[in-house]
């Protein structure tokens, strides 16, 4: 493998530096690379496709398909191979267009001057380029804090509350242009945190809030299988990271220029990247697809995937039936709430509405959350903030205005409680099932009863025919072939007629041996005498 690596990366007269470190007084020229200690990642100059533009970045060193995971000078490429990487006098690692240039194209941009002579830039085997003092171990800067389009294991997405550092994924402009695109994935600072994918300034998709097990809108996330996911929300930071349980697994998450988030793993035997998850991929994934106060159900048997939340109706009905849901839904009776006997309808397996304007209190139980919502006339819905998947719930989320981007799943999501008046509540039972649902259940029960009755009738008819067949072939009344006149002729497919003993005796000459044809398993067989 090492020989293959050397041939691949040292082609075209490039020089490979085997260590993982750039010393303070050392420089890195175009054509030279450093490798992480495990030789998984490389750092240096590269080009994309047939372009002659040169970039500085990090890529997978032992994968034949060029896969860049981080780019330093993504918006300021170098036109030729005269580029240089070295430390500035203030201790920043910089990229210069040539040896003679004094103004860098890119810099680590550490605000404080670093005077330590033991300062180095080191590439870790996780793909993180770190600026640190080897004597004290203090880190000053790292590439994981400034990601481009790729989310690697053990990298963080999110922000620090005090320092203001915001780790955001930003797409490339195109597959051959790593410049900053207009698709971004970032942690939303407003309300209850969640990751939101933007297309320019437009919200394109969101993860939903962290439920304690997974993102509310990412049902594919599995706890403890391949990936270890971790969400932190405290006074210092709000961040999300993931690790891998098997160090041999090579995986990455990418925000591409089309506005799709993709997760890949490397399949060594096929020598290719395998995409095994992506979003958005169906209509209900797109942000606010059903407008305000609507919810999306992709597995519904209805004609349309969009439905208004309980207590709401389409603002413009004719648009709704033309599958134009942008107008959303409005409350059926604007003055009906905040009266006696208000209640809640439970929407199960839900991706709860956007939490941008939601209020959160982590000290309340779900029962207390219900009471708080009932006591506030502006509260239109509530849900638990965290749940462990086995009935344990804590924290209270409440909504006080229009609800956006609600949807349901088949077996995932969480319970969401929508406030309705007593008239609307009468249309739903205590478990949140509508009359329509009950009618469907009744119809299913009736269908099952009809099918059961048909089976019983079929078995009865079959048994009756079997008894008639046995009766015709009994030993007491043996099968006899008759040649009576028209009165003994049979019609079509009727069953054989039954005759009394006197008639049979007369027809066979009192069971004469001259009329005996033979014997079977059920007795002798006679012919009709002439």
- Domain identity same for 44 and 123: yes
What is the reported pLDDT for 503?
72
Q: Is residue 238 part of a domain?
A: yes
Q: By CB neighbour count within 10 A (0-12 exposed, 13-18 middle, 19+ buried), where does 415 fall?
A: middle
Nearest to 210 by CA among 184, 254, 245, 242: 242
**Pair (165, 253) in one structural domain:** yes
State residue 513's pLDDT score: 67
pLDDT for the residue numbered 321? 84
Q: Are residues 200 and 124 in the same domain?
A: no
CATH number at residue 426: 3.50.4
**Paired residues of 206 in beta bridges:** 196
Please give the pLDDT value at position 459.
75
Do 266 and 176 belong to one domain?
yes
The pLDDT score that the predictor gives to residue 112 is 86
pLDDT, tens digit, 9 for 90 and up, residues 9-27: 444 334 445 499 999 999 9
- Are 233 and 342 found together in one domain? no
> Do 151 and 224 lie in a common domain?
yes
Residue 444 structural domain: 434-472
Does residue 453 share a domain with residue 413? Answer: no
Helices in 194-295 by DSSP H: which ranges?
Answer: none
8 A C-beta contact, residue 201 and residue 180: no
CA atoms within 13 A on the CB side of 193: 19
Residues 6+ apart with CB under 8 A from 335: none
Residues 506 and 463 in one domain: no
> Do 64 and 135 belong together in one domain?
yes
Count of C-beta atoms within a 10 Å radius of residue 331: 19
- Global pTM reads 0.77
Q: Looking at the 3D structure of the chain, how many domains does it have?
A: 5
Residues 416 and 490 in one domain: no
Core vs surface per residue 353-388: b (16+ CB within 10 A) or e = bbbbebbbeeebebeebbebbeeeeebbbbbbbbbe
For residue 55, give the CATH number of its domain: 2.90.10.10
Q: Residue 274 domain-assigned?
A: yes
On whether residue 308 sits in a domain, the answer given is no
| 404 in Cβ contact with 325 (< 8 Å) | no
> Are the C-beta atoms of 352 and 333 separated by less than 8 Å?
no
158 and 257 housed in the same domain: yes
Is the domain of 91 the same as that of 135? yes
Q: Are 36 and 44 in contact (CB under 8 A)?
A: no
Report residues of the chain scoring pLDDT below 50. 1-16, 18, 430-442, 474-494
Residues sharing a CB contact under 8 Å with residue 378, sequence separation 6 or more, in sequence order: 400, 401
381 in a domain, yes or no? yes
Q: Is residue 236 part of a domain?
A: yes
Q: For residues 196 and 183, what is the distance between their CA atoms, to the nearest angstrom?
A: 10
């Amino acid at each position: 493998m090492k020989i293959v690596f050397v041939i691949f990366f040292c082609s075209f007269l490039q020089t490979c530096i085997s260590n993982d470190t750039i010393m303070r007084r050392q420089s890195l020229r175009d054509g030279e690379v450093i490798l992480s200690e495990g030789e998984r990642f490389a750092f240096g100059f590269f080009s994309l496709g047939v372009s002659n533009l040169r970039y500085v970045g990090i890529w997978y060193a032992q994968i034949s398909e060029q896969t860049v995971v981080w780019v330093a000078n993504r918006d300021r490429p170098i036109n030729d191979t005269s580029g240089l990487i070295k430390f500035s006098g203030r201790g920043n690692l910089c990229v210069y267009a040539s040896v003679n240039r004094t103004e860098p194209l890119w810099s680590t941009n550490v605000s404080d001057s670093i005077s330590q002579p033991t300062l180095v830039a080191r590439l870790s085997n996780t793909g993180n380029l770190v600026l640190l003092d080897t004597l004290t171990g203090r880190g000053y800067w790292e590439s994981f804090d400034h990601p481009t389009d790729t989310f690697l294991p053990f990298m963080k997405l999110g922000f620090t509350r005090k320092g203001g550092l915001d780790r955001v994924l930003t797409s490339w402009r195109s597959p051959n242009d790593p410049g900053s695109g207009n698709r971004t994935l970032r942690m939303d600072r407003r309300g209850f945190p969640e990751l939101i994918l933007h297309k320019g300034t437009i919200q394109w998709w969101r993860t939903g809030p962290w439920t304690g097990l997974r993102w509310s809108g990412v049902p594919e996330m599995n706890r403890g299988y391949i990936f270890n996911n971790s969400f932190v929300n405290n006074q210092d930071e709000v961040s999300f990271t993931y690790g891998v349980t098997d160090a041999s697994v090579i995986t990455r998450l990418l925000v591409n220029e089309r506005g799709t988030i993709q997760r890949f793993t490397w399949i060594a035997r096929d020598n290719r990247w395998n995409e095994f998850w992506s979003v958005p991929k169906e209509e209900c994934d797109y942000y606010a697809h059903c407008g305000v106060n609507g919810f999306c159900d992709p597995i519904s048997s209805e004609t349309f995937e969009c439905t208004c939340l309980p207590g709401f109706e389409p603002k413009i009905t004719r648009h709704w039936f033309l599958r134009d849901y942008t107008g959303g839904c409005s409350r059926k009776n604007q003055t009906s709430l905040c009266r006696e006997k208000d209640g809640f309808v439970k929407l199960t397996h839900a991706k709860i509405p956007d939490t941008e304007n939601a209020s959160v209190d982590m000290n309340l139980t779900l029962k207390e959350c219900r009471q708080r919502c009932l006591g506030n006339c502006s509260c239109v819905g509530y849900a638990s903030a965290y749940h462990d998947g086995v009935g344990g719930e804590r924290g209270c989320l409440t909504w006080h205005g229009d609800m956006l981007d609600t949807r349901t799943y088949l077996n995932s999501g969480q319970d969401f409680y929508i406030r309705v008046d007593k008239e609307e509540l009468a249309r739903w039972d205590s478990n949140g099932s509508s009359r329509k649902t009950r009618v469907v259940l009744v119809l299913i029960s009736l269908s099952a009863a009809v099918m059961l009755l048909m089976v019983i009738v079929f078995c009865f008819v079959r048994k009756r025919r079997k008894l008639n067949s046995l009766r015709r072939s009994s030993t007491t009344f043996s099968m006899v072939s008759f040649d009576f006149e028209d009165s003994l002729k049979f019609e079509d497919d009727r069953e054989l007629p039954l005759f009394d003993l006197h008639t049979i005796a007369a027809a066979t000459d009192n069971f004469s041996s001259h009329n005996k044809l033979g014997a079977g398993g059920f007795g002798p067989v006679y012919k009709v005498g002439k």
